[in-house]
């Protein structure tokens, strides 16, 4: 076994790998960019090496710096985690050339399965069914031949990035261009393929494990059908859809796919399955790395997949055969992401001011967070994962809903409350899943407004701050008692803002104790976690800011009749298509803001003239920062 392993990643997966290294008595080496100097994975490793500035291209994606870090610390092997260089064949080869063991499959297997086009051809030859489709350079012709709807996918990567569902072929060229941009930004390769879209499909994947001695086994399936923007948000094992014969057949197909590319280590074979006919499954792709959702497999098999990655990489044979694998109980995982459901799930950011992550009694949290963590726009939005295990599916779902209600991440908006409501949806509870379910039901899962008790709690916090300490002389006019000379006692009003500004007069009672706020409204008591201007409960969080109506009025007057276009999320301006003085039409694309590998197009709200433009390509912007001002034609003339 290795003495020292370098973990070439960050965040929750780096912490996860370090945990197993510690349990095995293997020394861990973390790497970090300047932005991650005080990150949790850096603190938990035995040693850590700075590898460059914050952009991933100059740190976590720098093969040279990673290899230098390994050499400086005496590492014998490198664990890539997932993302970044985990599925980069050139990195695997570079490790081998530097005398390091790459804890993953052979470079040739990564290269083969990383090219979705070659991968499909290879597994088809091995007898594995594949989805009908086409590839570059005849992409558009293939799409039209298949007929709408079709799915555009990057050939060089997965994770949902760059994927586009096209239902209207008149928009095909536009969608291809957008998919190429995202693929190039995410994987450095804009090659695309197109596949027939199967309506209401289920996404089921098989975990495989292979050693260097010819042994390949599968560890059952994971259901990953609950997705947003083609990215998984809830995963579970096993799937309620499969019966034993189908499970066995899909498992054998996955084993054959792994054998077809000479696989070694832990990998996942992904299938798309028509919900109406589970026996008609199709190979989509093979992920040649550890999956984000690997904990659910670990919980139902009792195996530590990171440990077996290490053992296989060290040359050990698997200690069990296919007939020894037992699937016991049920596990469900929820991905906690830095995104704001109330703002269309745009990426969020900020400083983690208050953190509470559930553990124990069938609950596991894999996280890269600590209080004080800065969540920026440079890296993937996933912050942590909460996983629940139970003897059956109903128990696991109930435990996970409860765990999400206990999850507190104040200072950064997350999707925890949304996921808790999703897990309570009747279709999810019944196991009636498909990859489009979340998008169809999303409006009913996102609250349309802010509950009044949130404003009541915010007012209680402000009243508490205004209340003088006991003892000593107090100016009676400074006490927030509502007393008026010669008039009726009237509670003070507060100008607050969560989404829209509101003048709120408290009408209940409240108590502030440390980091908790309790208010009673209409006879019902509500308790919130609190940090600075943030309030949270049941996985939801609200940033309740003070609102200055005078300053807002002056701002409106300064731009009377014009529309200020603001950043919908913290990020980087990647494209600027206009200049001051340009005439624009309603709906015209003006700028593109990118955060966490997600593009957001800023369009003109009406026809007019650009009177202000405060950004250039490469500008870093905060959420709600003014980017440009568009004045209607008549006002621009004035």
Locate the domains of the chain by residue range: 4-103, 119-130+201-328, 132-196, 334-439, 447-467+493-547, 561-637
Q: What is the pLDDT of residue 488?
A: 62
Q: What is the pLDDT of residue 472?
A: 62
Q: What percent of the chain has pLDDT over 90?
A: 76
Overall CATH class of domain 132-196? alpha beta
Lowest model confidence (mean pLDDT) among 69-83, 109-123, 249-263: 109-123
What mean pLDDT comes out for the span 333-338?
98
Residue 181 and residue 600: Cα distance in Å, rounded? 12
As a CATH number, domain 119-130+201-328 is 3.30.470.20
- Cβ neighbors of 255 (< 8 A, separation 6 or more) are 208, 216, 217, 218
What mean pLDDT comes out for the span 274-283?
90
pLDDT over 70 (residue 474): no
What mean pLDDT comes out for the span 307-321?
98
Q: Per residue in 361-400, pLDDT tens?
A: 999 999 999 999 999 888 989 999 999 999 999 999 999 9
What mean pLDDT comes out for the span 625-632?
90
Q: End-to-end CA distance of the chain: give it in Å, rounded.
A: 76
pTM of the model: 0.86
Residue from 542, 234, 538 nearest 403 by CA: 538
Residue 307 and residue 603: Cα distance in Å, rounded? 49
What mean pLDDT comes out for the span 99-104?
98
Same CATH topology for 132-196 and 561-637: the answer is no
Q: What is the pLDDT of residue 197?
A: 85
What mean pLDDT comes out for the span 334-347?
94
Q: What is the pLDDT of residue 636?
A: 44
Which range has highest mean pLDDT (345-349, 425-429, 466-470, 503-507)?
425-429
Residue 405 and residue 399: Cα distance in Å, rounded? 10
φ, ψ of residue 136 in degrees (nearest 5): -65, 145
Hey, which bits of 342-482 come out as E strands? 346-347, 350-351, 354-356, 363-367, 374-375, 382-390, 408-410
Q: What is the pLDDT of residue 637?
A: 47
pLDDT over 60 (residue 66): yes
φ, ψ of residue 536 in degrees (nearest 5): -150, 150
Residue 400 and residue 387: Cα distance in Å, rounded? 7
Any idea which fold 334-439 has?
A: D-amino Acid Aminotransferase; Chain A, domain 1 (3.30.470)
pLDDT over 90 (residue 203): yes
Lowest model confidence (mean pLDDT) among 24-38, 101-115, 459-473, 521-535: 459-473
pLDDT over 80 (residue 598): no
Lowest model confidence (mean pLDDT) among 89-103, 221-235, 495-509, 548-562: 548-562
As a CATH number, domain 561-637 is 2.40.50.100
What mean pLDDT comes out for the span 130-151?
90
Average pLDDT over all residues of the chain: 92
Q: Per residue in 152-172, pLDDT tens?
A: 999 887 767 788 999 999 999
Signed CA dihedral, 479, 480, 485, 488: sign only:
negative
Neighbours of 402 (CB within 10 A): 16
What mean pLDDT comes out for the span 499-509?
91
Any idea which fold 4-103 has?
A: Rossmann fold (3.40.50)
């Amino acid at each position: 076994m290795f003495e020292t392993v370098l973990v070439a990643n960050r965040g929750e997966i780096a912490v996860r790998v370090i945990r197993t290294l510690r349990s095995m008595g293997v020394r861990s080496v973390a790497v970090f960019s300047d932005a991650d100097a005080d990150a949790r994975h850096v603190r938990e490793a035995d040693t850590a090496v700075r590898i460059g500035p914050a952009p991933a291209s100059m740190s976590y994606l720098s093969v040279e710096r990673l290899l230098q870090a390994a050499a400086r610390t005496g590492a014998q092997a490198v664990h890539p985690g997932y993302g970044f260089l985990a599925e980069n064949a050139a990195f695997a080869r570079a490790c081998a050339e530097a005398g390091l063991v790459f804890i993953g499959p052979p470079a040739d297997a990564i290269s083969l399965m990383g090219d979705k086009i070659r991968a499909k051809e290879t597994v088809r030859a091995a007898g594995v069914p594949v989805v009908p489709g086409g590839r570059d350079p005849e992409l558009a012709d293939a799409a039209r031949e298949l007929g709408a709807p079709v799915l555009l996918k990057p050939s060089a990567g997965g994770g949902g990035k760059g994927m586009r569902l096209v239902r209207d072929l008149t928009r095909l060229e536009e969608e291809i261009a957008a998919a190429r941009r995202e693929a190039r930004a995410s994987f450095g390769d804009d090659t695309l393929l197109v596949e027939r879209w199967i309506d209401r499909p289920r996404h089921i994947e098989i975990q495989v494990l292979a050693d260097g001695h010819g042994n390949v086994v599968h560890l059952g399936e994971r259901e990953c059908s609950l997705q947003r923007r083609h990215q998984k948000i809830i995963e579970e094992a096993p799937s309620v859809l499969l019966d034993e014969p189908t499970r066995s057949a899909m498992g054998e197909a996955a084993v054959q796919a792994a054998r077809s590319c000479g696989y070694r280590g832990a990998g996942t074979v992904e299938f798309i399955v028509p919900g109406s006919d589970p026996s008609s499954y199709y190979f989509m792709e093979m992920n040649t790395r550890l999956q984000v959702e690997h904990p659910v497999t670990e919980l139902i098999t009792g195996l530590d997949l990171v440990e077996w990655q290490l053992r296989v990489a060290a040359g050990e044979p698997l200690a069990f055969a296919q007939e020894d694998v037992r699937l016991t109980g049920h596990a469900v995982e929820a991905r906690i992401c830095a995104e704001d459901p109330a703002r269309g799930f745009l990426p969020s950011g900020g400083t983690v001011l208050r953190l509470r992550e559930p553990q124990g009694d069938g609950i596991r949290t894999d996280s890269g967070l600590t209080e004080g963590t800065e969540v920026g726009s440079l890296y993937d939005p996933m912050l942590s994962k909460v996983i629940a295990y139970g003897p059956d599916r109903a128990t696991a779902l109930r435990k996970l809903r409860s765990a999400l209600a206990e999850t507190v991440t104040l200072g950064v908006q997350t999707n925890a409350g949304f996921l808790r409501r999703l897990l309570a949806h009747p279709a999810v509870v019944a196991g009636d899943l498909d990859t489009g379910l979340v998008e169809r039901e999303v409006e009913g899962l996102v609250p349309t407004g802010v509950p009044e008790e949130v404003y009541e709690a915010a007012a209680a916090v402000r009243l508490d701050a205004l209340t003088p300490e006991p003892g000593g002389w107090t100016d009676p006019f400074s006490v927030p008692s509502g007393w008026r000379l010669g008039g009726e006692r009237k509670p003070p009003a507060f100008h607050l803002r969560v989404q829209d500004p509101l003048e709120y007069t408290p009408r209940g009672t409240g108590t502030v104790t440390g980091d908790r706020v309790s208010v009673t409204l209409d006879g019902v008591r509500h308790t919130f976690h609190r940090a600075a201007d943030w309030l949270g409960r049941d996985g939801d969080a609200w940033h309740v800011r003070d609102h200055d109506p005078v300053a807002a009025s002056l701002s409106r007057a300064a731009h009377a009749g014009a529309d200020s276009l603001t950043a919908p999320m913290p990020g980087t301006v990647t494209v600027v298509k206009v200049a001051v003085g340009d005439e624009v039409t309603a709906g015209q694309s003006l700028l593109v803001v990118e955060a966490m590998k997600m593009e957001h197009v800023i369009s003109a709200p009406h026809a007019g003239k650009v009177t202000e433009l405060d950004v250039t390509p490469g500008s870093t912007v905060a959420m709600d920062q003014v980017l440009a001002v568009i004045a209607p034609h008549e006002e621009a003339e004035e």
